[in-house]
A and B are shown apart, each in its own frame.
Chain A
Amino acid sequence: GAGVSQSPSNKVTEKGKDVELRCDPISGHTALYWYRQSLGQGLEFLIYFQGNSAPDKSGLPSDRFSAERTGGSVSTLTIQRTQQEDSAVYLCASSLALGGIVGEQFFGPGTRLTVL
């Protein structure tokens, strides 16, 4: 079956512009995650969605970052007024979540964001 997909695969933008990154999770997975992978920082958790619960936004680095998940499926990560330090690979993952226990996370190929 189809895995997690992300678009675009690459995004180059100018400092100060807004960008939107999209994630399509595996069908039936109720949990969705965003991570950021950058040189020197490794992989960092950004945000977590589970069903209709309020998302855990504790990993978002600033209020320029936001994310939503529509209809419990597709998610969009938005970065406003991009800065050069936002340059990174943004990874999305999804998993099953049953009885409060989340399963293994399946990752998408990522979106490489470059802010000039």
Chain B
Amino acid sequence: AQSVTQPDIHITVSEGASLELRCNYSYGATPYLFWYVQSPGQGLQLLLKYFSGDTLVQGIKGFEAEFKRSQSSFNLRKPSVHWSDAAEYFCAVGGGSNYKLTFGKGTLLTVNP
């Protein structure tokens, strides 16, 4: 069965600092990996996705993620966090012919001024 682990429930960073959100997955085949962001009262917005090819993927809002098969990880990074990045971030695996997305529990990001 596929699963996603986001080890950090809550992370606090200062505005302008770098950010890395961790995601580890378990999947029986080549995974399709996603990062979504959810602002309070909003739906999920796709930040970026990995299907194949280059293991470093660029997304919207200056985010990037790196797929590391050997570590079963897909960590999300941003070099300089903005106050508007405060939200909850979800990593997910699935898609392609496996349409059921399995989500991690989420990481809540707080940004201090």
Contact = CB atoms under 8 A, between A and B. Distances in A.
A14 B4 CA distance: 34
A104 B49 contact: yes
Contact of A101 (B34, B45, B96, B102): B96
Contacts, number: 53
26 contacts: A31-B99, A33-B101, A35-B101, A42-B106, A43-B92, A43-B101, A43-B103, A48-B100, A50-B99, A91-B44, A95-B99, A101-B96, A101-B97, A102-B95, A102-B96, A102-B99, A104-B34, A104-B49, A105-B46, A105-B101, A106-B46, A107-B36, A107-B44, A107-B45, A109-B41, A110-B43
A14 B88 CA distance: 30
A59 interface: yes
B42 interface: yes
Contacts of B43: 4, 91, 107-110
Interface residues of B, number: 22
A33 B99 contact: yes
Contacts of A110: 43
Nearest to B36: A107
Contacts of A48: 99-100
B104 interface: yes
Given A43-B90, A91-B43, A107-B43, A102 B97 contact: yes
B105 interface: yes
Nearest to B96: A101
Contacts of B102: 45
